[in-house]
Amino acid sequence: MTVKQRTNRKSPGSTNAVPRSDTRNGSERESARSGIRIDWRRIITRMLMMTAIMVAVYFSKANKTVQFAKQDEEIGKKFVEISCSEDYAEELRQFRGCTPRKCGRMVSDSLIKPGEVAALRNIAERGLALGGSSGGASILDLHSGALSQGNAFVNIYKLETSRKIFTGEDFKIYSHVKGKIQHAIADHFGIDKGQLYLTHPTFFSRITSAPPKTIHDEYWHPHVDKETYESFHYTSLLYLTDYGQEFEGGRFVFIDKDSNKTVEPRRGRVSAFTSGSENLHYVEQVTRGTRYAITVSFTCDPKHAIEDPKLER
């Protein structure tokens, strides 16, 4: 797009106006001349956050590791409160009823029933059997239909073989479990459940020890969910396999200043946390076996809300 320049023609009887001093800085003036509005504050904030992440990752290598949730312990509910990051807190102020009473993370093994876990594991196995990444990380998104296949993604609902793979009961259980997790997050963080919406991406994951083939297979890099997915405000994971029994590696690691806190996956374990930079984290590489989980993400912004999946025929 080109920007037309205006020519200021003076009328015969006109007088010269007193020129105004331009108080904008150089980058702002350049942006105005080009016709492009640049949110420098957001760019600088992201740069500072990325710098902080790199520093945190560097020092995390020397950090001691603390087990926040072990696989062989059954946890009714365990949580830790952490100060909200400034940018996260500032953004949530615009969503009344969705600002957390406290930021942090929580784990519970009593929320989801064993039968529900088994049903969801079965859904994941049936769906992912129709595809699978060439590398070690595969996803199945029942909302969009995205399914890893080779080095790319396909829409599972467009596959001829998928028409009879799912049932109405599958989607009913999926939605019921999502509702349980949504209610638990609202209750723990002190927010209005009606102001908390499911958002994209929400998906099943299957991770093996196969070497990565594309960037999508490199799941182990430290990151902040809010930076990776802008719509995220609250993140949760439901584990469908047991660490140390069905797979090795694959622990979830929070990177804190004093130490790294690990969550060892356990069937039916739900881990939930605020999605801001107060919860920088990564997943260890799986070295043996297969790790199944579901990432269930929530937003406070209704424009990013998605509906529960529906059975397509």
Just list the catalytic residues: 291
Tell me the three-class secondary structure of the chain, residue by residue: CCCCCCCCCCCCCCCCCCCCCCCCCHHHHHHHHHCCCCCHHHHHHHHHHHHHHHHHHHHHCCCEEEEEECCCCCCCCEEEEECCCHHHHHHHCCCCCCCCCCEEEEEECCCCCHHHHHHHHHHHHHHHCCCEECCCEEEECCCCCEEEEECEEEEHHHCHHHCCCCCHHHHHHHHHHHHHHHHHHHHHHCCCHHHCEEECCCEEEEECCCCCCCHHHCCCCCECHHHHCCCCCEEEEEECCCECCCEECCCEEEECCCEEEEECCCCCCEEEEECCHHHCEEECCCCEECEEEEEEEEECCHHHECCCCCCCC
The neighbour count for residue 155, using CB atoms within 10 Å, is 13
Longest dimension (CA), the chain: 90
- Spatial distance between the Cα atoms of 188 and 273, rounded to a whole number of angstroms: 10
Closest CA to 148 of 166, 162, 127: 127
Identify residue 267 by its one-letter amino acid code. Answer: R
Place of tokens 């290598």: 61
For Cα atoms 137, 225, 118, give the angle at the middle one, nearest 5 degrees. Answer: 50
Is-contact 131 149, C-beta < 8 A?
Answer: yes
